[in-house]
Amino acid sequence: MLKNNTLIFFSIAIVCILGIWIDVMNIDAAQYASISREMLQTNSFLKVFDSGKDYLDKPPFLFWISAISMKIFGINNFGFKFPTFLFATLGVYSTYQFSKLFYNKNIALLSAIVLASCQGFFLMNHDIRTDSILTSMVIFSVWQLTAWIQTDKIKHLIIGCIGISIAMMTKGPIGLLVPIFGIGTHLLINKDIKKVIKWETILGIFVIAICLLPMSYGLFQQFDAHPEKIVNGQTHTSGLRFFYWSQSFGRITGESPWNNGAPFSFLLENMLWSFLPWIVFFLLGFVQQSIILFKNKFIVTSQNEVITLGGFLLTYLSLALSKYQLPHYIFVAFPFAAVITAKFIYELLFEKKHAILYKPLCYFHKFVFILLWVSLIVLLVWPFQNISIIVPCIAMVGFAGFIFLLFFQKKSPSLLLTLSLYTIIGINVFLNGFFYPSLLQYQAGSNIGHFMYTHRIPTQNTYVYKYETFRSLDFYAKGTVIKIDSLPHFSDKKYVILAKNSLPELAATHIPYQVLYECFDYPITLLSIRFLNPQLRPKELETIVLTQLN
């Protein structure tokens, strides 16, 4: 088995901690940070607002815990991101404990390592969305409810149902459905459905309902009690119906207007990068376990489970049927994928099963890892001139260490695992430590926000003219900046943020002004080759200025 498990988890934690200090990125993470900041400053925890307007999109749990954290640590990157890091840690631990209910300690450790080291896990710990907390609370509740079914101890039922309620308060009904998909599949195949048909189940439902009361009450007060409000261009909007039906199921029925035409394979295609370096092992493990289940005529031994198989498959199907999909939607099923992957890797490397696959898998992954290291070095050398030449030199040393492991390290069953972890952790150290911070110099909202706060420019006297992508501006300026579509005759001592090519419109008001700060802007979460190319980048950028009216 792998040695130095403590070192592995410590290294993963270092990567995630580096990510905590990266500025939040537009659009979602910056919006959630700004909403959390506004919730703290207005002390409005049951009614959620975004730049002073009613917010009806995501449930409030992420905003609650981020606002509380910022009350303790301040309105900054750490204050916003730290709670998510804690929940992610709980998710890894829950994956380990769940896996231990069915498999040996080595497979359980591998499950936790696979989840904690996949690319999507690193991403959702610095580009904060609701998915990290959702993922963690889903596997936490699955662990606890499975323990309740096995031991009949009611404490596991209550704790598991609290986990489900937190998952639902983070991203809606999906937090309830995924545990049902996994545990329900296991009980149906084992013909053990009677294990949950008892009075304690009613208690669990009651616990969930009680936990959901604060969110439900806030939704009713903010929306259902005010049918005259115009929300998304409509009146008579029910916040309760939106969260418990429209936001999730409406995307399948067509009731929701959200539709990006994503194909059925969209989430699987995105797993090819987000579940690196484990995606091939997962696909093989998923197919293998499915075949075994069919061959055994759906008979599952007491030393096995189909919670992960059914949980992943049914979750994927439900998400893939949605008319609107984004790459991170599949993250909620990653703990299931991690257990499936760990079981296959353990059989392949340590039980010497699937011997015919071993050499092809080694050659394929070694080739992919070399490509990843070369790509990293190119990213550190080519796009951004502010990255010191020392950094890619250190990366080259890291690559040399990989080559040493590849050709000169004593061959052992764990070598492929070592190469996988060395590559994914090493690459993300450089991405979080150098690439992303350099990339963020092109996010105008956060840069102007930092400037405003440092120079004590009051947000209440500042206006953004015809530029709506500054989701990060309010968070770093620590206040709500007013958005306007016209330039009225301002009094003096006002500040206006606008695109540089709109300065003639400001000049037409005949109000003297001076430019205090100037920076570039680009939608940095939508990287393109033209942007990464330093010669072509200027044509992709918008210049934004902060002006003071005299």
Residues 464-512 have pLDDT tens digits of 998 776 789 999 999 999 888 888 766 667 899 999 999 998 888 888 8
Residue 284 domain-assigned (yes or no): no
Residue 319 domain-assigned (yes or no): no
Same domain, 241 and 98: yes
Which amino acid is residue 62, in one-letter code? L
- Secondary structure of 219-269 as H, E, C letters: HHHHHHCCCCCCECCECCCCHHHHHHHHCCCHHHHCCCCCCCCCCCCHHHH
Task: Supply the pLDDT for residue 245.
Answer: 79
Q: Could you give the angle at the alpha carbon of 291 between the alpha carbons of 289 and 295, nearest 5°?
A: 115
pLDDT digits (tens, 9 = 90+) for 536-546: 999 999 999 99
Sheet architecture: strand order including 462-465: 482-484, 462-465, 495-499, 542-549, 513-521
Task: Supply the pLDDT for residue 487.
Answer: 82
pLDDT digits (tens, 9 = 90+) for 24-49: 998 899 999 999 999 999 999 999 99
Task: Supply the pLDDT for residue 491.
Answer: 67
Position of tokens 């080291």?
117
CA-nearest of 473, 520, 514, 468 to 495 is 514
Same domain, 227 and 99: yes
Task: Supply the pLDDT for residue 302.
Answer: 65
User: Residue 232: what are its φ and ψ, rounded to 5°?
Assistant: 50, 40
Same domain, 424 and 533: no
pLDDT digits (tens, 9 = 90+) for 164-183: 999 999 998 999 999 999 99
Residue 407 domain-assigned (yes or no): yes
Distance of CA 253 to the CA centre of its chain: 26
Interhelix angle 77-100/28-42, rounded to 10 degrees, is 110
Among 235, 250, 265, give the residue marking a domain's end: 250
Same domain, 450 and 429: no
Same domain, 102 and 159: yes
CA-nearest of 484, 478, 546, 471 to 27 is 471
Is 90 exceeded by the pLDDT of residue 403? yes
80 touches 35 (CB < 8 A): no
Segment 248-276 mean pLDDT: 80
477 touches 449 (CB < 8 A): yes
All residues at 6 or more sequence positions from 417 whose CB lies less than 8 Å from its CB, including other chains: 2, 345, 349
Is the peptide bond preceding residue 458 cis, with omega within 30 degrees of 0?
no
Task: Supply the pLDDT for residue 114.
Answer: 98
Among 407, 423, 441, give the residue marking a domain's end: 441
Task: Supply the pLDDT for residue 283.
Answer: 97
Is 80 exceeded by the pLDDT of residue 108? yes
* 99 vs 336: CA distance, rounded Å: 10
Same domain, 415 and 448: no
| pLDDT, greater one: 482 or 14 | 14
- Tokens representing 67? 């606002």
Most confident of 88-97, 168-177, 212-221: 88-97
CA-nearest of 1, 10, 208, 198 to 109 is 1
311 touches 340 (CB < 8 A): no
What is the secondary structure of 366-396 as a DSSP string?
A: HHHHHHHHHHHHHHHHSS-TTS-THHHHHHH
Interhelix angle 199-219/154-171, rounded to 10 degrees, is 30
All residues at 6 or more sequence positions from 284 whose CB lies less than 8 Å from its CB, including other chains: 344, 354, 357
Is 60 exceeded by the pLDDT of residue 1? no
Is the peptide bond preceding residue 448 cis, with omega within 30 degrees of 0?
no
What's the whole-number average pLDDT of the chain?
Answer: 91
| pLDDT, greater one: 240 or 312 | 312
- Tokens representing 353? 């099963």
Name residue 483's beta-bridge partners: 464
206 three-class SS: helix
Segment 275-296 mean pLDDT: 94
Give 298's pLDDT tier (boundaries 50, 70, 90). Answer: confident
Burial class (CB in 10 A: 0-12, 13-18, 19+), 520: middle
Position of tokens 């005010």?
226
Segment 326-332 mean pLDDT: 91
Name residue 545's beta-bridge partners: 498, 518
Same domain, 436 and 485: no
Is 90 exceeded by the pLDDT of residue 199? no
DSSP category for residue 23: P
Which amino acid is residue 347, in one-letter code? E
Distance of CA 328 to the CA centre of its chain: 6
Task: Supply the pLDDT for residue 482.
Answer: 87
* 441 vs 524: CA distance, rounded Å: 10
Work out the percent of the chain whose per-residue pLDDT is above 70: 96
Residue 271 domain-assigned (yes or no): no
Residue 266 domain-assigned (yes or no): no
All residues at 6 or more sequence positions from 146 whose CB lies less than 8 Å from its CB, including other chains: 98, 101, 183, 307
Same domain, 85 and 27: yes
Interhelix angle 279-295/334-349, rounded to 10 degrees, is 80
Among 233, 250, 267, give the residue marking a domain's end: 250
Residue 458 domain-assigned (yes or no): yes
All residues at 6 or more sequence positions from 110 whose CB lies less than 8 Å from its CB, including other chains: 2, 341, 342, 345, 346
pLDDT digits (tens, 9 = 90+) for 69-92: 999 999 999 999 999 999 999 999
Task: Supply the pLDDT for residue 497.
Answer: 94
Q: Is the pTM of this model over 0.85?
A: yes
Same domain, 98 and 171: yes
* 413 vs 113: CA distance, rounded Å: 16
Q: Is 261 left (phi over 0), alpha (psi -120 to 50) or beta?
A: left
Is the peptide bond preceding residue 179 cis, with omega within 30 degrees of 0?
no
Is 70 exceeded by the pLDDT of residue 250? no
127 touches 30 (CB < 8 A): no
Task: Supply the pLDDT for residue 335.
Answer: 98
Task: Supply the pLDDT for residue 225.
Answer: 85
- Tokens representing 416? 């492929």
Residue 131 domain-assigned (yes or no): yes
Residue 107 domain-assigned (yes or no): yes
* 396 vs 275: CA distance, rounded Å: 24
Segment 403-419 mean pLDDT: 86
* 500 vs 517: CA distance, rounded Å: 11
Segment 96-125 mean pLDDT: 96
Name residue 120's beta-bridge partners: none
- Tokens representing 313? 């498959």
Is 90 exceeded by the pLDDT of residue 142? yes
* 346 vs 106: CA distance, rounded Å: 8
Task: Supply the pLDDT for residue 254.
Answer: 57
Name residue 515's beta-bridge partners: 547
What is the extent of the structural domain holding 389? 355-441
Is 60 exceeded by the pLDDT of residue 253? no
* 208 vs 222: CA distance, rounded Å: 22
Lowest average pLDDT, out of 120-134, 191-205, 374-388, 442-456, goes to 191-205
Lowest average pLDDT, out of 169-178, 220-229, 345-354, goes to 220-229
Same domain, 397 and 480: no
Same domain, 398 and 361: yes
Segment 83-111 mean pLDDT: 96
Same domain, 486 and 392: no
Lowest average pLDDT, out of 138-152, 229-243, 263-277, 463-477, goes to 229-243
CA-nearest of 484, 388, 487, 497 to 451 is 497
Segment 112-133 mean pLDDT: 95
The count of structural domains within the chain is 3
